[in-house]
Amino acid sequence: MGSLEYALLFIAVFALVIGVVAIAVAAQPPGNLVAIVQYVVLFWIWVAAGICAWWRRPMNGIGGLLLVGSLALILGSAGYFGVPGLYAIGAVFSSSALSVAVHLLLAFPSGRIRDRLSLITVVLGYITSLFFDLIRAVVFGTPAFAPVSFVQSTIGVTVMIMTAVVLVRRLKAADAAHRRILLPLFTYGILAIPALPMIPNVLLPLGVDPELVTWMQGVLLAGLPIAFLLGVLRGGFTRTTPLEALSEWLALRGASRPAVARALATTLGDSTLRVVYWDAAHARFVDERGLEVRNRTGDAGRGWLQVLVDDDLVGAIDYDAGMIAEPSPVRRAAEVLAIAIDRERLTVQLLTSNEALLLSRARIVEAGDRERFRIARDLHDGLQTQLVLLAIEAQTIANAPSGSDAAGPAEALRRGIDTAAADLRRLVHDVLPAALLEQGFVAAVEDLVDRLPVAATFRAEVDEPTVARPTAHTAYFIVAEALSNTVKHARATTVRVTMTQTDGRLALEIEDDGIGGARINAGMGLRGLADRVDALGGRIEIRSERSRGTNVRVELPCAL
């Protein structure tokens, strides 16, 4: 049992003792035992509801308000004890329970007053009960008593109307989930709060027994915490835990990633709470699966609190602003779990990058298999067939009778050999261009640009010996694929290719004035380029708006 449980147990025992003592005192003449029993029962009902609320949500103010209301009830009953010194106390606090009830209704379920109209209503309620009850006690028996009572009744009716208006507006504005929680209590409040002061004003002039009127008011007052308990049982107050429990959870080994959100949701009593993580590489928030999450700062029904570790953004907490009006308990809980959230952020990034790496490797393997299949097909269906036919022609020439004219067949055989050799050179060039091996990648890229059928410019500021071979080869094939796409699909009239080297990074830019619309995932070529870049730890960016051309920017590390 923790400190909270001990404190609530003490309050329960203390309330029980106060009730028993009050009944014992009222049992002595000239006390009104029936009235005191009624008030004590009301007192115990309110205390029980307050203890329940405080236990379920230690950081919420509803439990404290219910306990304050129970205290107002027992103080308001002081005049029924028959003790002369207590009459004044009972007179001053006779209607204070009503103002607490108004405060409780307008603060439910977060425990905080959230808007100006509600604040004005609560302040007027306390002025009506405490201030005017004090004035009435002072002017009792004088001609001023009637006008003071009239002013108090007028303001009291105004407060009740304002309370009903606020509650109705909140019910209309609430979504289905919140309306289900608020409906029992707010409906009861809309009906009961105005009825409490009106019952004596209507029934007493009609000659109804005052004790019956008092009992009717007591039943209405008892129904308020009961309606609150219905809200509790229907999910309005999810059980929370003290912040110390978060520290204990943080010390456990093997806590899974979703447990961070579950621990915060349990502590704050918000089952809709979500923890999202900051992905600095892409400047976005992601969930535990790596999927992008929209920032909900502008959503009136939701709260959004960013979590920092040493001034670095690591994540955010998305919570129900209707249940948790103030961000301070969320902030305190987030401070306890900030390191865990940062750890899970890194885990999310690792898992996301690992999944992307696995997919990238699978695509590279698939591209390699596809390229090997193409080479094998070209060798089998093209070059091999040509060589077989050339061998047949050569055998035909060899078997020809001596003295026959072999000049024509020999010339055809020579042309066939030349064609086969050209196909072989093309095939080797596709696998690894000779210019790339013999002249370097800058000269090979320049050769690509020079052979384009469209107007093209090329600029290179690269210290070629400092560029690793995998980077150089990747840079060449990136330019080759981009230029191939430009010629085949872009309908461009001009192309610009730029290569620069800065701070150990090789930057490539290929820009055309074509029709645009290129996407990385639209074809295997660009997807293959992106995988090559990722494999080397580089970055690729493609901007290709419709009718505005395509711009491909790539950064690669020079040294590996």
Domains of the chain, CATH where assigned: 3-233 (1.20.1070), 243-350 (3.30.450.40), 433-557 (3.30.565.10)
The burial class, CB within 10 Å (0-12 / 13-18 / 19+), for 40 is buried
pTM: 0.53
The continuous run of DSSP H or E covering 158 comes out as helix 145-173
CA separation for the pair 272, 274 (Å, rounded) = 6
List 505's β-bridge partners, or say none: 502, 557
Looking at residue 244, what is its pLDDT? 47
The parts of the chain modelled with pLDDT lower than 70 are 1-2, 59, 177, 229, 231-260, 263, 266-267, 269, 281, 290, 296-300, 309-310, 322-323, 325-326, 333-391, 393-411, 413-414, 418, 420-435, 520-528, 560
pLDDT of residue 221: 83
Q: Are 240 and 52 contacting, i.e. CB atoms less than 8 angstroms apart? A: no
Give the H or E element holding residue 315: strand 312-320
Which tokens is 109 given? Answer: 């379920």
Instruction: Give tens-digit pLDDT for 81-133.
Output: 888 778 888 888 888 988 998 998 888 877 778 788 999 999 999 999 999 99
Three-state SS at 298: coil
Determine how β-strand 274-279 pairs with β-strand 312-320.
Answer: antiparallel
* pLDDT recorded at residue 254: 44
Taking Cα atoms as reference points, which of 390, 440, 451 lies closest to residue 420? 390
Q: What is the pLDDT of residue 257?
A: 45
pLDDT for 124 equals 93
How high is the mean pLDDT of the chain?
Answer: 77
470 CB neighbour count, 10 Å cutoff: 14
Q: How far is the CA of 506 from the CAs of 193, 435, 538, 551, in angstroms? A: 75, 20, 9, 17
First to last CA, the chain: 59
Pairwise CA distance, residues 159 & 121, whole Å: 6
> d(Cα 57, Cα 51) in Å, to the nearest integer?
10
3-state DSSP of 325-350: CCCHHHHHHHHHHHHHHHHHHHHHHH
Tell which residue, 460, 531, 458, 448, has the closest CA to residue 485.
448
How much is the pLDDT for 252?
43
**Alpha-carbon Rg of the chain, whole angstroms?**
42
- Are the C-beta atoms of residues 462 and 442 closer than 8 Å to each other? yes
What is the pLDDT at residue 500? 94
- The pLDDT of residue 15 is 93
Residues 6+ apart with CB under 8 A from 443: 435
Do 224 and 192 touch, CB atoms closer than 8 A? yes
pLDDT reported for residue 64: 87
Exposure string over 197-235, b if 16+ CB within 10 A, otherwise e: bebeeeeeeeeeeeeebbebbbebbbbbbebbbbbbeee
Q: Which two tokens stand for residue 452?
A: 């384009």
The first and second tokens of residue 12, run together, are 């329960």
C-beta atoms surrounding 187 within 10 Å: 14
Phi-psi region of 291 (alpha: psi -120 to 50; beta: other; left: phi over 0): beta
Would you say 82 and 108 are in contact if contact means Cβ atoms under 8 Å apart? Answer: no
534: DSSP letter? H
Are residues 273 and 264 in contact, defined by beta-carbon separation less than 8 angstroms?
Answer: yes
Each as own residue / partner, the long-range contacts of residues 365-374 (CB below 8 Å, 24 or more positions apart, any chain) are: 367/524, 367/528, 367/531, 370/524
Question: How high is the pLDDT of residue 287?
Answer: 76
Residue 553 and residue 507 in contact, taking contact as beta carbons nearer than 8 Å = yes
Query: Rounded distance, CA 445 to CA 435, Å?
Result: 9
CB 108 within 8 A of CB 185: yes
Question: How many residues make up the chain in this entry?
Answer: 560
